[in-house]
Structures are given as structure tokens and as C-alpha cells.
Amino acid sequence: MEKDIVCGMEVDEGSDCNSLVNGRIFYFCSEECKNKFDKNPIKYIR
């Protein structure tokens, strides 16, 4: 399992909602969380 860093939910790594940033893939529970992340990835990556 991967963690959705926008809402904190556990997400299956086969999820289609994912984004590649700095060579790392981030997974999301929904398009909504992915869109929030894509708008401002720096806010979520620490």
C-alpha cells in the first residue's frame, strides 16, 4: 500500500491516479486529490 499524501488515505499502488515528480511516483485515492497535488506538489512533498 501507498499513502495518499493529500488526504492521508492508504491507496493501492495499481491506482490510475498517480503523478511522477522528481523520479518518484505518488499515488492518490481520487482524481480530486491528484489534481490538488498537481497544482502545487511542493506543498505536499517534504
Q: Give the binding site for Zn ion (CB under 5 A).
A: 4, 6-7, 9, 29, 33
DSSP symbol at 46 = -
- Distance of closest approach, residue 37 Cβ to Zn ion, in angstroms: 9
- Distance of closest approach, residue 39 Cβ to Zn ion, in angstroms: 14
On whether the CB atoms of residues 2 and 28 are closer than 8 A, the answer is: no
**Euclidean distance between CA atoms 5 and 37, whole angstroms:** 8
* C-beta of 9 vs 19, nearer to Zn ion: 9
Q: Which phi and psi angles does 13 have, rounded to 5°?
A: -75, -5
* C-beta of 23 vs 30, nearer to Zn ion: 30
